[in-house]
Amino acid sequence: MQHPQRLLNDVLWNFKDKTYSSLSEFLIALLTYNENIFGEDFEFDKDEKVLESTQVVIQYSYWDEEKEDDIEPDFLLTADNGEFFTQGELIFKVHNKVQEKLQDQDNSFFEGLLLWEGENPNNPNVPLYFVMQGS
């Protein structure tokens, strides 16, 4: 199955914020953040189908002070509806998974997701996306 090369490129976010207990609470913060930066209403359809897959592997990076090295963990997400991910669900779940490790990092800004086109041996047939991070 073909998956989009890039996802959520037009969404700005900073992972330094807290974790969120609900999607609705997260979406209010996301909309407010984008509207403050753009200075206008931010068009974001939380229910738009963004990835037609029941699961996705997400990888990101952070600097580990103790190991003095860049760490690149990954994690598996499963779509709530068992069919596909919506924009809102995907960025909400990514935020809550990476927030703790990225809250004190310089590269905590979300710049979209980029598809890895190589093999994913730990999860064959599951798309793997890298979190594009900026500072």
- Mind listing the pLDDT tens digit for each residue in 27-83? 999 999 999 998 988 989 999 999 999 999 999 999 999 999 999 999 999 999 999
Residue 90 CB neighbours (<10 A): 23
Spatial distance between the Cα atoms of 83 and 62, rounded to a whole number of angstroms? 31
User: In the prediction, which pLDDT does 6 show?
Assistant: 97
Cα→Cα distances 133→15, 29, 47, 78, 125, Å: 10, 19, 24, 22, 25
pLDDT tens-place string over residues 5-35: 999 999 999 999 899 999 999 999 999 999 9
Q: How confident is the model at residue 121 (pLDDT cuts 50, 70, 90)?
A: confident
Task: Indicate the pTM of the whole model.
Answer: 0.94
User: In the prediction, which pLDDT does 46 show?
Assistant: 95
* Distance in angstroms between the alpha carbons of the first and the last residue of the chain: 33
User: In the prediction, which pLDDT does 1 show?
Assistant: 67
Inter-residue contact 77 to 56 (CB < 8 Å): yes
pLDDT tens-place string over residues 77-117: 999 999 999 999 999 999 999 999 999 999 999 999 999 98
User: In the prediction, which pLDDT does 68 show?
Assistant: 92
